[in-house]
């Protein structure tokens, strides 16, 4: 299975880079993992709703350009479904079973995801009602993908 994590912005924090690298290494024997970063749109701290929409649209275009046509897209969004680790494992297992071997998780920037990205997604996933920094979300997501793989293989890790 090919898992792609497409996200807005470049990771700068060393602890996040190191954490993601550790889980990517652990995932190596099980899945092909691709981490795709697209540039975030330069924007002032305070924006009008119209300016925020423009930022989302531009970042969304960059994200969509990185997604293969055959990818099963899961958008991370506050309004998405709440899944447990077991639910994620089950979703990945079903996708693999039914020939959807390329799964792309999409993480927006600080203003969220563009409507076009949400429309492209087959599923929307929420990690809860709390807002998390989009950089931290990458680490949380890659850890959960690793956990899901271990659950599906019946191997120790998930507790």
Measuring CA to CA, which residue among 148, 134, 102 is closest to residue 38? Answer: 134
Please enumerate, as own/partner, the contacts of 62-66 that have beta carbons within 8 Å and a separation of 24 or more: 62/8, 62/38, 63/6, 63/8, 63/38, 63/106, 63/108, 63/113, 63/114, 63/117, 64/116, 64/117, 64/120, 65/38, 66/4, 66/6, 66/36, 66/38
Domain membership flag for residue 159: no
| Average pLDDT value for residue range 14-32 | 96
Known binding residues for S-adenosyl-L-methionine are 76, 108, 127-132
Residue 114 confidence class, pLDDT cut points 50, 70, 90: very high
What is the percent of the chain with per-residue pLDDT over 90, rounded to a whole number? 82
What is the residue range of 148's domain? Answer: 2-153
Residue 158 placed within a domain: no
Cite the annotated binding site by residue number: 76, 108, 127-132
Residue 103 lies in a domain: yes
Q: What is the CATH number of the domain that holds 30?
A: 3.40.1280.10
Task: Give the tens place of pLDDT for each residue, 66-84.
Answer: 999 999 999 999 999 999 9
**pLDDT, average across residues 12-25:** 95
Residue 158 has pLDDT above 80, yes or no: no
pTM value?
0.94
What domain count does the chain have?
Answer: 1
pLDDT band at residue 156 using 50, 70 and 90 as cut-offs: confident
Give the confidence band of 90 by pLDDT, cuts at 50, 70, 90: very high
């Amino acid at each position: 299975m090919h898992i792609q994590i497409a996200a807005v912005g470049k990771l700068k924090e060393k602890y996040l880079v190191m954490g993601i690298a550790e889980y990517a290494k652990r995932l190596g024997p099980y899945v092909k993992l691709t981490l795709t970063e697209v540039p975030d749109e330069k924007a002032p701290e305070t924006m009008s709703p119209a300016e925020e929409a423009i930022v989302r649209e531009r970042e969304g275009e960059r994200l969509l350009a990185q997604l293969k046509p055959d990818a099963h897209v899961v958008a991370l969004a506050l309004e998405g479904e709440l899944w447990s680790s077991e639910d994620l494992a089950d979703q990945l297992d079903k996708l693999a079973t039914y020939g959807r071997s390329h799964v792309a998780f999409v993480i927006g920037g600080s203003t969220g995801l563009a409507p076009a990205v949400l429309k492209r997604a087959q599923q929307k996933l929420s990690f809860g009602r709390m807002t998390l920094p989009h950089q931290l979300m990458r680490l949380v997501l890659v850890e959960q993908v690793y956990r899901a793989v271990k659950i599906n293989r019946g191997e120790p890790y998930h507790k």
